[in-house]
């Protein structure tokens, strides 16, 4: 029976896998008590309190851009989630946890430190696009270039993988949260309407599109009149959303192009033949794959299991750690970090 855990630690959500089974999928949010700074609610209940919590509570998102921004709250959250995932098991698990590519050693150490203090016996970090490739069933042990683009809420990770390791990679801080922010800015600028993160995400999911639609659709957005402070409802179309988020979408496409520009020609030839593999929550934005394909000039394949792609890849690692034999991956403890 597997006691080891895999953690997909994301800006918007945390997914935990035990063996190959998803045992937890919750928002990366903690509702904190103001008077003693203690955790009150976790996950979905805390997420729903964003923008609605009374003054005595403070919703905190401890993961920003894929790295820990509030260490104490992140540790609270991870301890709660790991205890839930372990159930009644008393043995401390080994933990494989995802991280953005190209993060600093200090940021990586912070993740290892928090996971072990939260109950992990030892910790192995793995880049999110590498885990996503494993989750999609891509065989990248051979000398053949494969590019994976993982567009999450806080970061877009672009990685060229060959022979079981990273050839070129880039992590840019442009992703789904920036699309939400662009929608919020557009509504304020064009309609004088103030909306929150929940409403912006709802608009993105319902009518958001990366390329103009031939058949127009619209949705009502509810918010506050910026001039009067009174409730206000306006109608926004899909093509308006496309205009609002176009800069963010093309910054994401530009990040993919920049990685390809730095990739050896032999690997680029392989990528031109196989295409781009796209995953992550923001990959589901309508027209995102077509926009990226038109921008780069090669086909784009979106992962079927995009929501759990990274988690499933980590699950594969838990079963067959030799999949990472060609990379610099190992389980570490706090003592290892101190000695190192």
- Which whole-number Å values give the CA distances from 217 to 82, 180, 188, 220, 249, in the listed order? 42, 19, 21, 11, 20
- Cα 117 → chain centroid: 23
* 35: its two tokens: 């008077």
Separation of alpha carbons 134 and 283, rounded Å: 17
- Is the pLDDT at 334 greater than 60? The verdict is no
The pLDDT assigned to 74 comes to 97
Q: How many CB atoms lie within 10 A of CB 340?
A: 8
pLDDT digits (tens, 9 = 90+) for 37-95: 899 999 999 999 988 888 899 999 999 999 999 999 999 999 999 999 988 766 789 99
Could you give all domains of the chain from N- to C-terminal order, each with its CATH number?
A: 5-130+309-339 (3.30.420.40), 141-304 (3.30.420.40)
pLDDT digits (tens, 9 = 90+) for 232-242: 999 999 999 99
Q: How many CB atoms lie within 10 A of CB 157?
A: 30
Average pLDDT for residues 276-304, to the nearest whole number?
A: 95
For residue 1, name the pLDDT band (cuts at 50, 70, 90): very low
DSSP 47: H
pLDDT digits (tens, 9 = 90+) for 196-231: 999 999 999 999 999 999 999 999 999 999 999 999
């Amino acid at each position: 029976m597997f006691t080891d855990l895999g953690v997909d630690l994301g800006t918007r959500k945390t997914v935990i896998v035990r063996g190959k089974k998803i045992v937890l999928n919750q928002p990366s949010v903690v509702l904190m008590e103001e008077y003693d700074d203690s955790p009150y609610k976790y996950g979905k209940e805390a997420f729903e309190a964003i923008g609605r919590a009374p003054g005595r509570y403070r919703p905190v998102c401890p993961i920003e851009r894929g790295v820990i921004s509030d260490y104490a709250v992140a540790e609270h959250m991870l301890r709660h989630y790991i205890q839930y995932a372990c159930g009644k098991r008393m043995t401390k698990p080994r933990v494989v946890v995802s991280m953005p590519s190209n993060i600093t050693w200090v940021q990586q150490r912070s993740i290892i430190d928090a996971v072990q203090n939260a109950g992990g016996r030892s910790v192995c970090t793995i880049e999110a696009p590498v885990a996503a490739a494993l989750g999609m069933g891509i065989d990248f042990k051979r000398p053949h270039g494969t590019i994976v683009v993982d567009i999450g809420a806080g970061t877009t990770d672009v990685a060229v993988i060959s022979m079981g390791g990273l050839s070129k990679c880039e992590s840019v801080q442009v992703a789904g949260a920036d699309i939400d922010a662009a929608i919020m800015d557009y509504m304020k600028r064009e309609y004088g309407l103030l909306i929150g993160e929940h409403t912006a995400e709802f608009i993105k999911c319902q009518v958001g599109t990366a390329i103009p639609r031939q058949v127009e659709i619209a949705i009502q957005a509810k918010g506050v009149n910026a001039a009067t402070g009174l409730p206000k409802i306006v109608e926004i179309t899909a093509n308006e959303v496309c205009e609002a988020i176009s800069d963010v979408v093309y910054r994401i496409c530009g990040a993919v192009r920049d990685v390809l520009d730095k990739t050896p020609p032999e690997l680029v030839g392989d990528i031109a033949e196989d295409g781009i593999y796209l995953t992550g929550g923001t990959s589901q934005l309508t027209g995102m794959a077509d926009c990226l394909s038109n921008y780069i000039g090669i086909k784009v394949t979106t992962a079927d299991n995009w929501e759990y792609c990274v988690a499933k890849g980590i699950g594969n690692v838990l079963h067959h750690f030799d999949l990472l034999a060609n990379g610099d991956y190992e389980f570490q403890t706090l003592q290892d970090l101190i000695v190192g």
